[in-house]
Structure 1
């Protein structure tokens, strides 16, 4: 593995937050509770993992419309979207593959089983019903099983406010590119009962996804019609609660091909998600136990009829379903000898996946019709040793019908150093990605058969980092600096065999890097943040750089609040040159080998004005510099846009 100067400087980068504030006072930040990282509600400072939390306030003040927009500036991530709103969007976490990130909705996996590689499309989700987004980077299979090699993203839906019989909230906006957006919801709590109903929609004519550099660009735009609805109803009394959740989301969109525009290529992507959950406390709340049953059903159809530009036709249909049954437990162990604040989480999870898929042209038709079951036992333990050392451990065994299963683990520690207002964290663990049903049982015509004997893709990863509060600008935490070094090795990666007649576990990859962050609070009205992720990801067999993993990604943002009514939130995202193995020249000819997409910079700005305590108006500007950067070769980032709107809560 070749190391650049940034990696050689990694030890200094990690030590820097500790060297600066040798005269600092103890940290005084209000603890934030994280659930996704351990399954036990835990203060963020005690979690031995790199985490990012985006709250409802962040989503609104920064003007995030979709999940892909919200995650674009999260450290350690590279977002690649093939076009504008609603288009296919992939995330590469810490140099791992896009299929190596697991997405949860209220703790339940929602990756589409019918996607050939099991990857999640981040371009689909609207955020009107989302309260917070928890991002945990690093291996998460010891908690959540298959797919969590690069990290876990948990979408937490909005909940009814306590003690309020009726709260009505909404959002209405419109602007350039024929864009209109709206959301309307009601929620409340009364005598132990609670409810939430939210509807949201987005329509836009979109922008041209084909780069102007291409000779055959027709300047055709790709539209999106997206809708979603969420309903929750529940009851809580004492330490017992019962609730049901139903969520629907459907997108109708126009698509584009590379290297040619296509005037009648369209898609429909729909998901139904439902769950029933019950939880109760035993032995005065020492033991909390709960049952959850959930169903996710995905249906995707892509249609393209012959036209003047192409005689080819497409009629692809994918159906995927996942049924989840989970028994989860949390036990507060309290003090155990030299340990304090000890907690144990354990449970059993059973999943059933099924796929019916039919895609591709005649003679090259791809079909999958299969199902599989898996059952997992998992346990996690955490405690504090002495006054400042937190320890955690997780273990999970996944057993499956059609592959050998996998045992994953993770160990972590956090050391508080209040004398220098710092903390050190380190962790290591394994993770895996089960072969998808397509990889095991899919067929392409008469010449390709999936391999039912595939093993799971697996990884070993470790990280070490430091975070420090700096006594600047007249306050003990005037700035916060952090640095985390990560290293991941992935084995048994699935790829085609030499004859392209099936698939085998034949690839290896490695990635390492540094996540650097600085938050400054020089004035009461200003919070500024800067993040820089340096990643080197390579194919261990060929030593070639892995596609769509840029070495440098830099993000900067701020919250400027000159009065208690005004909030201004600028964001800048710079992505360095990115290797790609699917590239096209200006004439639309395919370029073989590894080529580099040029770097790009995108500037966004959102400004909000609180008219009354219940009503806020805002302006959202996207790509204000009108960058023509290509996140994926052949697909340009959406052009400049402006949206004006208002939101309310009564």
Structure 2
């Protein structure tokens, strides 16, 4: 058994004890990965029990259920289960208990154990998140956070921005759960760290890395009563100074008819491949890279916009399809100097997306978009023991980004560039108070320049199981290419003079442990506004986007509670109250925003037994009443969508060290509901499969 140290604490107090050979991540992230490592800490100042409770609080805030871990440590070594979970909530990672921002961490182990197939379904269990899927799996799936728009949430996978250049948002319909290490959900304005589109929050997904000094292979297959079949292969390995991971997944879903008309089933085919590597060239210098490819084709049912048609605005049973190919890659280097005090990062990322739309088998339109990003940042860490026992971390960085977009009706590619400068300070005081501040300047060549900022703090009250957290900041969302330059004959014309949407938000919360950490509750209040909101105006000869003069307002409460009875039973419950309104002109009337339920919640329970070889679980997702737009009238009118509750159950059994069987039933009570008006949703369906690990 070997030891590895955290480069985030080069002079630190903690000793990391690895269950296997050390598996080093890039120094800017974590030198000893969270999954295989556990922490052995000195019980200084009676802090051991206190920090254990803080860990439970971090998991409660995460709003997810985790299985009880097996104890494989030496009898003579005092080991505390993983209480140093790092999250990427800024320019540098921070331990979850020291973050002042509302966040949720979903471990990949939980996704695997609950047999979640789409990331969007896992995010339904997170407080502050609302998901809207247009019918079948593979259909357009939008995610809204704290009542904001879909393009106000930035989505990252392994450090690469996934939001499309055309719409500014990410379609979660393409994102399968495959080899994910963890999902970080960061709520509140984050543009000071991440730039445009991080107005309401960030979904940061980290995939699994390779295994140092070893090799493993995993194969799984699955079938479903809706005509689904799946095949997946994952390989991870490495040597003393490198690791490699490669995975592939092919899923074909027969689907169902999302329209109230006809009988045609709307299915989806999705092939996803993902790979990454890390090589330590020297003890101080490492390079890493990622590559991701997605090829999918989804059946659609289109809405009827033929003026005068008796079915105008309704979803018809059409033979429409959308096909897309997405390629993402990155290459980076990290150098550590002065005994870990100085960390420098250099990274380049790129993405290319090509999309085709078909009607009746004929190609009707297509578009392609690309994004290239270059980043350099340096972090200096130092301590001032005589001044509040403080630790400080200063970071400065520069980012360059170029985005391009080419729709099929144009011959010249559209392009825009952004140069960004960012600074961050992170401090820890008296081993109980954590502060974070950031400032960012975006210089845009296609619209106005923007400055954003962020502040946050957390206080772990000594001698208690209480943690206070608060944050405030600004966010920005740039106009999309289609909003600036789009053109549809007789239907739409873009507006190159649009201003970026801007937002200010804050939240404050308290996390409290009870009964020695068996129950932990987190309560957060949030408040956020939006100005310069972009909407379509019908005042001119053609509809065109404009910046509204009013102010959208969003406020609410997020609650997460976790129970761990330490006997194999765990449960997590969440509840969110959201009050989201929009205003088209300053001083004008306020309208409740569509597809934002005022009340939503979830319950997730699990029980491990039979020496952890068997597991059963249950999930309940509640979505309260909400409004949507009815396009069968002109102008469109607002209608109410009824509340719904969906129950999922499942289980797994490990036959031996190699083979595991699993099953999952979704929508157990065959609930009929709509996320989007006019689009049917999946009824009762069952899935079962096998997984082999070698």
Alignment equivalent of 2:165, drawn from 103, 108, 113: 113
In the other structure, the counterpart of 2:607 is 560
Which segment is superposed worse, 447-456 or 53-62?
447-456
Q: Say if 2:160 and 2:350, in contact at 8 Å, map to a contact too.
A: no
Q: Say if 1:583 and 1:595, in contact at 8 Å, map to a contact too.
A: no
Q: Say if 1:27 and 1:418, in contact at 8 Å, map to a contact too.
A: no
Is 2:568 the partner of 1:531? no
What is the CA–CA distance in structure 2 between the aligned matches of 1:39 and 1:31, rounded to whole Å? 21
Q: Say if 1:230 and 1:248, in contact at 8 Å, map to a contact too.
A: yes
Q: Say if 2:211 and 2:244, in contact at 8 Å, map to a contact too.
A: no
**What do the CA deviations read for 1:122-179 (whole angstroms, capped 9, x no partner)?**
1111121322111101111000000001100111121001221x21112211121111
What is the CA–CA distance in structure 2 between the aligned matches of 1:401 and 1:136, rounded to whole Å? 29
Structural mapping, 1:507-546, within 5 Å: 507-522=550-565, 524-540=567-583, 541-546=588-593
Give 1:268 shift: 0.5
Relative to the length of structure 1, the TM-score reads 0.89
In the other structure, the counterpart of 1:502 is 544
Alignment equivalent of 2:322, drawn from 257, 267, 270: 267
Alignment equivalent of 1:161, drawn from 202, 211, 227: 211
In the other structure, the counterpart of 1:150 is 200
In the other structure, the counterpart of 2:359 is 304
Give 1:368 shift: 8.5
Is 2:579 the partner of 1:579? no
In the other structure, the counterpart of 1:491 is 531
Q: Say if 2:391 and 2:429, in contact at 8 Å, map to a contact too.
A: no
Q: Say if 1:266 and 1:302, in contact at 8 Å, map to a contact too.
A: yes
In the other structure, the counterpart of 2:254 is 205
What is the CA–CA distance in structure 1 between the aligned matches of 2:368 and 2:621, rounded to whole Å? 36
Structural mapping, 1:183-582, within 5 Å: 183-210=232-259, 214=260, 217-236=261-280, 237-258=282-303, 259-305=314-360, 315-335=364-384, 337-338=387-388, 340-358=390-408, 369-445=413-489, 448-471=492-515, 476-497=516-537, 498-499=539-540, 500-506=542-548, 507-522=550-565, 524-540=567-583, 541-563=588-610, 564-582=612-630
Q: Secondary structure at the match of 1:64?
A: coil
Structural mapping, 1:60-209, within 5 Å: 60-115=112-167, 118-164=168-214, 166-209=215-258
Give 1:257 shift: 2.2
Give 1:331 shift: 2.2
- List alignment gaps of at least 5 residues for structure 2: 1-48, 56-81, 304-313
What is the CA–CA distance in structure 2 between the aligned matches of 1:607 and 1:105, rounded to whole Å? 28
Which segment is superposed worse, 118-127 or 492-501?
492-501
Give 1:108 shift: 2.2
Is 2:664 the partner of 1:620? yes
What is the CA–CA distance in structure 1 between the aligned matches of 2:692 and 2:424, rounded to whole Å? 41
C-alpha RMSD over aligned residues: 2.0
Give 1:520 shift: 1.5
Q: Say if 1:220 and 1:261, in contact at 8 Å, map to a contact too.
A: no
**What do the CA deviations read for 1:27-80 (whole angstroms, capped 9, x no partner)?**
513424333212322110100111111111111111111121221111100000
**What do the CA deviations read for 1:177-229 (whole angstroms, capped 9, x no partner)?**
1111111021211131322221111011112222xxx4xx2232111111011
Q: Secondary structure at the match of 2:265?
A: coil
Give 1:342 shift: 1.6
What is the CA–CA distance in structure 2 between the aligned matches of 1:234 and 1:44, rounded to whole Å? 25
Rate the CA distance shift 1:368–1:405 in 2: closer, same or farther, 3 A.
farther
Which segment is superposed worse, 591-600 or 131-140?
591-600
Q: Say if 2:629 and 2:677, in contact at 8 Å, map to a contact too.
A: no
In the other structure, the counterpart of 1:3 is none
Structure number with higher strand proportion: 1
Give 1:447 shift: 7.3
